[in-house]
Amino acid sequence: MGERLRLGDMLVAAELVTEAQVKEALGAQKRTGQRLGETLVSMGYVTEGQMTQVLSNQLSIPWVNLYHVDFSRELLGLVPTEVAERNCLVPVYVRHVRRQGDTLYVAMEDPLNVAAMQEVADGSGLPVKPMVASPTDIRNAIRVYYLGLPPLGEEDPLELEPASEPAIELTAVKRATPEEPAPKPAAAEAPPTPSPKPAEEAPPKSEPPVVKPSVPPPRRPGPGFMTLTLLDGTQVKLPAGKAKDAAPKAEDRLTTRDLIHALVARAGGADVSDVLPEDAWEPLVAALLSVLLRKGLIADWEFVDEWNKQRKKHESGE
């Protein structure tokens, strides 16, 4: 309850809600069993964007835009589906941190939930640090990448778009490099929000918690992967091929990052037919074109015109 009250105190300090509204939400929370933040959003007192902004600023925990995260089956395998669903969290990336080693960064609806971070740390065998993301974005990522379902409000599982009315634009995640300093929240282009009260009235900021696995840290066995070394020395890691008669599971589905790795490996002369059969490349290209057209990134006539040009060049032997 102390952690939930702290969220309410931060929202009150930022003048986004009143103490009376927090008390009302706490009463409703007892009846619904929802988290305080989720209750305040459902009651219309605060938006998801405002809530994540306050959490990030007050706790010095960076935002993350899940639509720019390179999800792979290897990354997702570090957090079991039931843990992600129960705690509303998803892994973001693994990065080497000085004096700490490889660390798993996790996007969480509630970055104060130390018990959830401990469960992830014990399961992955890695220290865990929290990041802040929109609860709707986290649930959509779980639905698409873990459960193989369409995102909330969408019928097409290929398209995962941000909420139609984000209160803030979250910070994009870059691919981490060794010894890279911890990411910091970037200034977001957002409608102006009321200035917080003077510092003496606001809750004190705290360092982002780092939860280490129990000793000894058992590394959770994930799905099988194979590492391919290309002619130029580049290494790509792909999920190991499944038996042809094995029924595909949601957790076996390739992510976009896995498909990119497969394309790179194939271009480098590697045989990836066990991961992506030869008859899967045409549907892959068709899916890519469908997304580009649906998002308006290319025009129909523009692609057809370029296709005709390339086809004529190929036929003429140029």
The SS3 call for residue 238 is strand
Domains in the chain: boundaries: 2-46, 66-201, 225-316
Lookup: tokens for 298: 């290319």
Decide: pTM greater than 0.85: no
Lookup: tokens for 201: 């009235």
Q: What letter would DSSP give residue 14?
A: T
> What is the distance between the alpha carbons of residues 63 and 169, in angstroms, rounded to a whole number?
9
- Residues 160-178 have a mean pLDDT of 36
Please tell me the CATH code under which domain 66-201 is placed: 3.30.300.160
Residue for token pair 């038996």: 243
- The H or E element containing residue 252 is none
pLDDT at residue 162 above 70?
no
CB 49 within 8 A of CB 190: yes
> What is the distance between the alpha carbons of residues 78 and 137, in angstroms, rounded to a whole number?
19
Between 32 and 248, the more confident residue is 32
Between 113 and 254, the more confident residue is 113
Q: pLDDT digit string (tens) for 268-292?
A: 777 778 777 888 878 888 888 888 8
Q: What share of the chain is helix, strand, coil (3-state, %, to 5)?
A: 40, 10, 45
Tell me what pLDDT residue 195 has: 45
Between 46 and 257, the more confident residue is 46
Tell me what pLDDT residue 217 has: 52
pLDDT band with cut points at 50, 70 and 90 for residue 179 = very low
Tell me what pLDDT residue 89 has: 96
Tell me what pLDDT residue 223 has: 52
